[in-house]
Amino acid sequence: MIVGTAGHIDHGKTSLVRTLTGVDTDRLKEEKARGISIDLGFAYLPAPDGPVLGFVDVPGHERFVHTMLAGASGIDFVLFVVAADDGVMPQTLEHLAIIDLLGIEHGLVALTKSDLASPRQRAQVAAEITAVLSATRLAGAEVIPLSTVTGEGIEALRGRLFAAAHSLGRRTARGRFRLAVDRSFTLAGTGTVVTGTVLSGEVAVGDQVVVSPAGLTARVRSIHAQNRPAERGRAGDRCALNLAGERISKEAIRRGDVVLDPVLHAPADRIDAVVRLLPAETRPATQWMPVRLHHAASETGARIVLLEDAPLGPGGEKRVQLVLEKPIAAAAGDRFVLRDTSAQRTIGGGRFLDLRAPARKRRTPVRLAQLEALMLGEPERVLAALLEREPGYVDLGGFARDHALAEDELARIVQALDVVRVSAKAQVFGLGPVTWLRLKRVLVSTLEAFHQANPDLPGIGFERLRLQLEPRLPAPAFASLLQGLARAGEVALDGAWVRLAGHEVRLTPQDEHLWERIAPLLAGAERFRPPRTRDIAQVLDVPEPDVRRLAKLIGRIGKVDEVAHDHFFLRATVAEMVQIGVDLAAASPTGEFTAAQFRDRMNNGRKVAIQILEFFDRHGVTLRRGDLRRMNSHRLDLFGATADARVEPVKSDQGREASPVGRPDFKSGRGREPVLGGFDSHSLPPPSRVGSAQ
Ligand SMILES: Nc1nc2c(ncn2[C@@H]2O[C@H](COP(=O)(O)OP(=O)(O)OP(=O)(O)O)[C@@H](O)[C@H]2O)c(=O)[nH]1
Ligand SMILES: [Mg+2]
């Protein structure tokens, strides 16, 4: 248990710690000379039944409230000191407000210097104290009259402290390791040592840690926990860590830094929070109001962005965004205190909600609903509520990190809530079980509707499908989800296309009939210079747009390729032309050939030959250097999948042969340019780029 003193200057905090522990924590020359505490003091007291109580003694001077804050943020139990001969004074109230804002619930009141006060005065001050405590978490705390001069009350106090240590027990070592640094020094023969309170988790000798926010890595060489050599330090211990690392030195680490589990290192400088303004404030908080933010042992400038319509007035509590001057190492749920910029008074404080607060759309109803979920505090309840709100999924890794959750804690919560996990690269997204079922149902019905409306298409484009569904998962997560469904045999993926496992492309009878008339024109002796759409339209006496539309459709299912604008070649012919290139390259000592050689092999016009080669260039089948080309061995089978010398009308069972090029690039969520059509050709204008000289 860590006991922290609090109270007005000169009320006897340090004397009391000295009487209890035998340690004079006012060690600085200046402290001795001025008779006041300036820096934090530390002392220990072993309880008879085993545990060691740690004491943090804080200064009472109004100029050192920031130091008091650094000391108070890690304590379990407050020894709230009020001198019987002086009564409630300004820092009595300010320290009390801070203790309350930090959420400290356990403590008692030491009515010090009782030897200097009459019984009547004692009773008066005690009543005063009871009144000011009544509106805080310490309401009803016991008031013990004491004197370090006469020894009155000291034994009683000691007894109460041991009893509290016993009943509070150890803090659970939940979460990943975090230690708020309050001192950093060099010890001869040992090296760099940092001290502080372990806020969560535990650390063991040999562990790798990171000093955040700077990001220095270090190894824990040795540990003192509660003033004794130890193999481990746990939440609630005051620890001294001997750190070793390339950039580790006493100067490199300062009060306010946090030593933590490397997984947790992710400094935040824009944090959504819930803030309470103290009732003693005279004015409401204004938009972009500058403040001093005190968190753990750190202190930085920040601005307040009000997120709610109603003003944040004295005594009020509202959600705000804190925009920090410099990043800090924090966790969601951590408490903080706000002081005015001239460091003269404490104005309020609260709890962090979201360390990755958005700079835009920060006060939309959707965002405020998320913050409401985050206000639930307990990670399991927060996650359950977040999963039910927009966007309908949660980045589980980020959630665990920002709540400092250990792996097994996250696993337990995920299991308790039946969260469906979708992994994508390094990230894992979680969906609530109901959301997941709904998403799957809508996905299937969307595909069904699409197939019904477009029986001639191989499927819906990946991106188009993604944008139609709620929740709209990030592309990599959606890709991974589809792959999962594909493995389960529920959907099939063909390059950029997604379809139901049972779907097959069907041409309408009219289209099938028209294709039966067009196909022969593209085959035979003229296959290397087939008629263009206009010529086909003329010969067959059908409107050219019909020919073009059908040719593109046939292209999507991989039976033809638009080599140049409105100039379609059978896929089998394209494969044959690739083979011609291969033969030419094989016959050439350098592996290179000219356009003229290519033209001669096909007995073609120069213009058409060039267009074919440029088509190959675009698809990386040929690699051009000046007038020469060679074949790209990695791409030779690009048009080979449907190589089929004979010309047949498209049969429905061949519809699966979607363009092999338009595979989705799951990294960016966009597809590469397919042979025909875009990532989702159905939703795009005709792919006029294809075939035009580039
Ligand atoms: N008579 C009497 N004097 C006391 C008692 N406790 C402390 N004092 C005196 O009060 C003065 C201040 O005591 P400190 O313990 O330094 O007070 P403090 O609260 O630590 O002061 P800061 O740390 O500067 O805020 C010293 O001169 C002490 O000797 C007490 O119980 N009785
Ligand atoms: Mg003192």
Q: What is the structure's pLDDT at 694?
A: 28
Mean pLDDT of 602-627: 93
Q: Is 71 in the pocket of ligand 1 (CB under 6 A)?
A: no
Q: Which atom of ligand 1 is nearest to the CA of 36?
A: 24
Residue 341 and residue 289 in contact, taking contact as beta carbons nearer than 8 Å: no
Nearest atom in ligand 1 to 58's CA: 23
Question: Of 482, 478, 483, 486, which is closest to residue 669 (Cα–Cα)?
Answer: 478
499 near 489, Cβ under 8 Å? Answer: no
Which amino acid is residue 583, in one-letter code? D
Token digits of residue 411:
């696993």
Residue 642 has pLDDT above 90, yes or no: no
Give 635's pLDDT tier (boundaries 50, 70, 90).
confident
Three-state SS for 471-503 is: CCCCHHHHHHHHHHHHHCCCEEEECCEEEECCC
- What's the farthest any 2 CA atoms get from each other in the chain? 121
Query: Closest residue (by CA) to atom 14 of ligand 1?
Result: 12
User: Please, what is the angle between helix 595-602 and helix 606-618, to 10°?
Assistant: 110
Distance 108 CA to ligand 2 centre (A): 18
41 in helix, strand or coil? strand
**225-234, 428-437, 583-592, 669-678: least confident range:** 669-678
CB 10 near ligand 1, within 6 Å: yes
Rounded to an integer, the average pLDDT of 24-41 is 95
Q: Which residues are bridge partners to 81 per DSSP? A: 7, 110
Indicate which residue's Cα is closest to atom 30 of ligand 1: 113
Helix (H) or strand (E) holding 385: helix 379-387
Asked whether 115 lines ligand 1 (CB < 6 A), one says: yes
pLDDT for 664 beyond 80: no
φ, ψ (nearest 5 deg) of residue 486: -70, -40
Mean pLDDT of 550-556: 87
Q: How far is the CA of 155 from the centre of ligand 1 (A)?
A: 18
147 lines ligand 1 (CB under 6 A): yes
Average pLDDT across the chain, whole number:
89
Q: Which of 8, 15, 82, 92 has the most ligand 1 atoms within 8 A of CB, as the residue to mutate?
A: 15
403 Cβ contact partners less than 8 Å away, ≥ 6 residues apart: 175, 331, 332, 333, 379, 382
All residues with CB under 5 Å from ion ligand 2: 13-14, 37
The CA 228 to ligand 1 mean position distance, Å, reads: 29
Ligand 1, atom 5, lies closest to the CA of: 113
**What percentage of the chain reaches a pLDDT higher than 90?**
82
Q: pLDDT by residue (tens digit) across 422-434? A: 988 889 999 999 9
Q: According to the model, what pLDDT value does residue 656 have?
A: 30
Question: Using CA positions, which residue lies closest to atom 32 of ligand 1?
Answer: 113
Q: Which atom of ligand 1 is nearest to the CA of 148?
A: 31
- Least confident range from 201-205, 322-326, 493-497, 667-671: namely 667-671
Q: Is the CB of 403 under 6 A from ligand 1?
A: no
Read off the pLDDT of residues 66-105 as tens digits, 9 standing for 90 and up.
999 999 998 999 999 999 999 999 999 999 999 999 999 9
The Cα–Cα gap between 674 and 654 comes to: 19
The pLDDT score that the predictor gives to residue 25 is 96
The mean pLDDT value for 407-430 works out to 93
Question: Which residue's CA is minimally distant from atom 2 of ligand 1?
Answer: 113
pLDDT above 70: residue 240: yes
Cα gap 146→123, rounded to integer Å: 13
Q: Cβ distance 631 to 581 under 8 Å?
A: yes
Cβ atoms 261, 218 nearer than 8 A: no
Confidence of residue 507 (pLDDT cuts 50, 70, 90): confident
Percent of the chain with pLDDT over 70: 92
CA distance 153 to 12: 14
CB distance 12 to ligand 1 below 6 Å: yes
116 lines ligand 1 (CB under 6 A): yes
| Residue nearest atom 7 in ligand 1 by C-alpha distance | 12
Residues 660, 666, 670: CA angle, nearest 5 degrees: 75
292 forms bridges with which residues in the sheet? 301, 339
Is residue 152 within 6 Å of ligand 1 at its C-beta?
no
Q: Is the pLDDT of residue 391 over 60?
A: yes
pLDDT given at position 692? 30
The H-or-E segment that residue 692 falls in is none
Cβ of 31 below 6 Å from ligand 1: no
Q: Roughly what angle, to the nearest 10 degrees, separates helices 509-522 and 544-556?
A: 90
- Give the mean pLDDT of 152-178: 92
For residues 591-604, average pLDDT: 93
Confidence of residue 396 (pLDDT cuts 50, 70, 90): very high
What SS3 string covers 82-118? EECCCCCCHHHHHHHHHHHHCCCCEEEEEEECHHHCC
Give the number of whichever ligand sits closest to the CA of residue 59: 1
589 Cα–ligand 2 center, Å:
92
Q: Where are the beta strands (DSSP E) in 627-680?
A: 628-631, 664-665, 670-671
Q: Report whether residue 13 contacts ligand 1, using a CB cutoff of 6 Å.
A: yes
9 lines ligand 1 (CB under 6 A): yes
Encode burial over 405-430: b for 16+ CB neighbours within 10 A, e otherwise: bbeebbeebbeebebbebebeeebbb
How large is the average pLDDT for residues 49-69? 95
CA dist 200 and 136 (Å) reads 25
Instruction: Report how far ligand 1's centroid is from the alpha carbon of 161 (Å).
Output: 20
Per-residue pLDDT band for 682 (boundaries 50, 70, 90) equals very low
Decide: helix, strand or coil at residue 567.
strand
pLDDT of 683 above 90: no
Residue 678: its pLDDT value, please?
23
Residue owning the nearest CA to atom 8 of ligand 1: 12
CA dist 523 to 358, 562, 572, 648, Å?
Answer: 59, 15, 9, 10
Contact 622, 636 (CB under 8 A): no
Distance 59 CA to ligand 1 centre (A): 11
Q: How far is the CA of 280 from the centre of ligand 2 (A)?
A: 26
For residue 651, give the DSSP letter: P
How distant is the alpha carbon of residue 546 from its chain centre? 51
pLDDT (0 to 100) of residue 493: 86
Residue 123 has pLDDT above 60, yes or no: yes
Cα–Cα distance for residue pair 161/234, rounded to 1 Å: 20
Q: Which ligand is nearest to the CA of 11?
A: 1
Residue 676: is its pLDDT beyond 50?
no
Task: Kindly state if the Cβ of 592 falls inside 6 Å of ligand 1.
Answer: no
Does the beta carbon of 145 sit less than 6 angstroms from any atom of ligand 1?
A: no
Indicate whether 553 pLDDT > 50.
yes
Give nearest CA residue, ligand 1 atom 6.
12
**16: CA distance to ligand 2 center in Å?**
9
Ligand nearest to the CA of 92: 1
pLDDT at 468 exceeding the cut of 80 = yes
> 125 with 160: CB under 8 angstroms?
no
The tokens describing 563, both together, are 């080599």
Q: How many residues are there in the chain?
A: 694
CA atoms within 13 A on the CB side of 134: 7
The pair of three-digit structure tokens given for residue 679, joined into one six-digit string? 């990532």
Cβ–ligand 1 distance for 5 under 6 Å, the answer no
pLDDT for position 640: 66
Distance (Å) from CA 1 to ligand 1 centroid? 24
Chain segment 529-549, per-residue pLDDT in tens: 999 999 999 999 999 999 999
Confidence check: pLDDT of 670 > 90: no
Q: Is 36 in the pocket of ligand 1 (CB under 6 A)?
A: yes
| CB neighbour class for 398 (10 Å; exposed up to 12, middle 13-18, buried from 19) | middle
pLDDT higher than 50, residue 64: yes
- Which pLDDT belongs to residue 504? 76
